[in-house]
Structure 1
Amino acid sequence: MDKLTEYPKLIKRILTEYVELSNRHFNSNIERFLIVDESQNNYIWMNLGWQNGERISGITVYVRIRDGRFWIEEDWTEEGIGTDLVRAGVPKDDIVLAFHEPQMRQYTDFSVVS
């Protein structure tokens, strides 16, 4: 797999599927969308709207591609974006659960780089 061209396509496809599924099945007062910064390899699934009189504004998933690896900075999905990436053929060594502090990454199944 050519990481430089395939990794950005892969994460956009996975996150687009999540956003589309979310928009079909959940509260229509909350907008879910994908923010993509291809020049810096940042991919964000964002939520905005109102629920029960309160403002909803938050990131569900934030993934960066850095040094040939997926750095998962934020992930509030049930199974984890890392699992989706592995199912798509990405080696676990190319996935960093960056939301874990560096010394705790050794206890995950993914890369321990810091």
Structure 2
Amino acid sequence: METLSYRQVIQDLLQARAMNHSEDGVEVELIFDRERDRYLVMLVGWHNQRREYSSLIHIDIKDSKIWVQSDGTETGIANELVKAGIPKQDIVLGYKSPFKRQFTEYAIN
């Protein structure tokens, strides 16, 4: 799959994730930097008088591979990428140490 298709798959998945996430007082912000291939889902607001400001999902495209930099989902965004047709060898779990990546089913780098 070419990089342009990867961009569209990522954007579609993150938009669907944002629409399905609801929490009173907390906004879901989609941040797409298409020029630099950085894609984020942020949670911003207040929940039970506590400030919520975190990255739910952060994905980069680097060297024609999808780097999952942060994943705060239960199902795992990498699993959703695979279901969408992205080969595991094109997905890097960037939030895991380089040593531990060799023990996953995904790319090392």
TM range (shorter): over 0.9
* TM-score, length basis structure 1: 0.92
- Aligned pair count reads 109
Q: Which has the higher contact order (CA 8 A, sep 6+)?
A: 2
Identity %: 33
Q: Secondary structure at the match of 1:77?
A: coil
User: CA offsets per residue over residues 42-62 of structure 1, 9 Å max, x none?
Assistant: 000000001121111000000
3-state SS of paired residue (1:78):
coil
Q: How does 1:1-114 map to 2 (within 5 A)?
A: 1=1, 3-22=2-21, 26-113=22-109
Contact in 1 for aligned 2:37/2:61 (Cα 8 Å): yes
Q: Which runs of 4+ in 1 moved over 6 A?
A: none
Greater helix content: 1
Q: TM-score, normalised by structure 2?
A: 0.96
Q: What 5-or-longer segments of structure 2 have no aligned partner? A: none
Q: CA deviation at 1:111?
A: 0.4
Maintained 8 Å contact 2:24/2:47? no
CA RMSD in angstroms, aligned pairs only: 0.8
Q: How far 1:4 sits from its partner (Å)? A: 2.3
